[in-house]
Structure 1
Amino acid sequence: MVYLFLADGFEITEAMAPLDMLKRAKVEVTTVGIGSRSPRSSAGVQVIADRTDADFVLPEDAEMVVLPGGMPGTTHLMASPVVREVLAEAKRRNLFVAAICAAPWVLDANGLLDKRRATMYPTMQTEMEHGVYTEEPVVVDGKVITGRAAGCAVLFGLTLVTELKGREVAAALKHSIYPNW
């Protein structure tokens, strides 16, 4: 099971493109609204999360935690005690953690990027204090997956599928959506 966290001000493409790729690959995903079951994206698009963060504890079936970027969504993720607890538990259990755009900042601040290669939105790279910044579109370093920006959201989603379901499933999925790359 994948748990994707949505806070007011999330970047819609960075949340929905990976969610779509995971669902197409038949990966179970639960969306978790931070502070609300109906967070709004940075563009004002309101979504209905599967559940809220009220009393949320990372279930035993968790395989991956995903954080989309966007502002001020990333700052809301950063301020969330639930997100901090979930990331600590994911680290303890050696689960996959994934973040895109500004959200790798949250991973870095919570001790998940220590000396790991990672990417993030270029203007946010100064916030990366513990990781090793790279300008690649998507980076996998062990169980940590980072994406650079909204323009990389489909590739980021396909990478999540690769890590959970394997290269063959991801390659078939990529072919089915006819990307231009």
Structure 2
Amino acid sequence: MTIRELDGAQALACVGQLAGVLRDCVEGGASVGFMLPLAEGRCEAFWRKVAAGVAAGERHLFVAEDDAGRICGTLSLVVDMPDNQPHRADVSKMLVHRRARRQGIAARLLRALEAKAREIGKTTLVLDTVTGSDASRLYERLGWQRAGDIPNYALMPDGPPCSTSYYFKPI
């Protein structure tokens, strides 16, 4: 398994594979901003916007590829922050395909993202995730601190509301 950062052109070339990972995660119940049923082309449109953001320097996109070269995970570092927050970045869209889970991919993606954040001078990272999720346990194991929870913040892909936990990590 390989972790690498994609530039804008590479991200655009990988839209189909990235869309497949997103679709799998949402269909598997991940609350990552999308509802079921996913409209045709919805995932691809999202990743085209991400690729444009990468090309514009607004975010860094990391992927995990399996031994066959297929994308099986992804994570973004959003660096397009307000003027009074140049020291911070947001972590977005931690996605690991169900076929590749429980192999340490999410942790490796997160470590690569944190290294990039340090390299570009960020000192505070922020993210949110479903309260009590596998992801929340991962973040806590990797030294992230929970700032608090917001009840009924978002919806699960099939409709019920869920609480969201906010985390931060000084790096």
TM-score over 0.5 for the pair: no
Instruction: Give me the TM-score of the superposition, normalised by structure 2.
Output: 0.37
Instruction: Give me the TM-score of the superposition, normalised by structure 1.
Output: 0.35
Structure having the larger proportion of residues in strand: 2
The structure with the larger Rg is 2
